[in-house]
Amino acid sequence: MECHIDYQPAADLLEGRVILVTGAGDGIGRAAARCFAAHGATLILVGRTLAKLEAVYDEIEVAGGPQPAIFPLNFEGATSKEYHELAGTLSREFGRLDGLLHNAGLLGDMAAFADYDLELWERVMHVNVTGPLWMTQALLPLLQASRDASVILTSSSVGRKARAKWGAYAVSKFATEGFMQLLADELVGTSSVRVNTLNPGATRTAMRRRAYPEEDPTTLRTPDAIMPTYLWLMGPDSRERTGEAFDAQPPRTSRPGHAAG
């Protein structure tokens, strides 16, 4: 695992690229969408809350970024048909996809496995694993139409070493790591698409507050502060790297954390 928080991107790093971000309405997804647009990318903003997506759309336009597109979608209830409809729309509008950031996620309960509500477990797995897998499969032809496409799957420290009471979230992130390895191995040598995971680390987000309600959020990096690693993975400087697990921050000296938009 490597850390690239000191990466200094060129202003036009993502010029001309088409990038889709899930969970784009808030937290890390919002920061990533704005950051990618500021470096020249055309964004497809995907999330469940239209008002939040519209707010990010407006922020990108006011900042002078390329006009983004909005596609409301709730991973919890989305069907395979909806993912293929999304792929069809993007094919007609853009013809390719140069980047895909899977950022949307559901924390679930902080509870012992013996007490975990199984319906909630299923919801977490569907949002964090099944939905992103279905979306990736539907979008794969568009990614392969790009000369240099990057897929980033959001991981977590608890998806690399499990900790008690992280339940379905931890298991879902282990599945994310496994899927990354599988897809990267299938595509290596036959495709320009690279696939990696990224653990954001302890970041000032709503999900982090739910996981650690007693923590002082001012001690955490903001989503904007961890964007260099996202830019590096999404841009051409990471072209030769695939099938790897990256961290956006150095390890913390106590209680390592995670975040997802």
Which runs of E-coded beta strand occur in 31-147?
42-47, 69-72, 99-102
Give residue 2's pLDDT band: very low, low, confident or very high (50, 70, 90): low
pLDDT band at 209 (very low <50, low <70, confident <90, very high): confident
Q: Is the pLDDT score of 47 beyond 50? A: yes
Confidence of residue 3 (pLDDT cuts 50, 70, 90): low
Could you tell me the pLDDT band of residue 254, with boundaries at 50, 70 and 90? very low
207 pLDDT higher than 50: yes
According to the model, what pLDDT value does residue 60 have? 98
CB atoms within 10 A of CB 81: 10
Tell me the pLDDT band of 188, cut-offs 50, 70 and 90: very high
Catalytic option among 7, 57, 83, 169: 169
- Average confidence (pLDDT) over 117-146: 97
Mean pLDDT of all residues in 154-169 = 94
Rounded to two decimals, the pTM is 0.92
Residue 253, pLDDT > 70, answer no
Percent of the chain with pLDDT over 90: 80
Alpha carbon distance 147, 236 (integer Å): 10
Q: What residues pair up with 99 in beta bridges, in sequence order?
A: 19, 150
Residue 54 confidence (pLDDT) above 70: yes
Any catalytic annotation for residue 169?
yes
**What does each C-alpha distance from 127 to 105, 227, 228 come to in angstroms?**
6, 23, 26
pLDDT confidence band for 218 (50 / 70 / 90): confident
The amino acid that residue 85 corresponds to is E
For strand 42-47 and strand 18-22, is the pairing parallel, antiparallel, or unpaired?
parallel
* Phi and psi at residue 165, to the nearest 5°: 75, 15
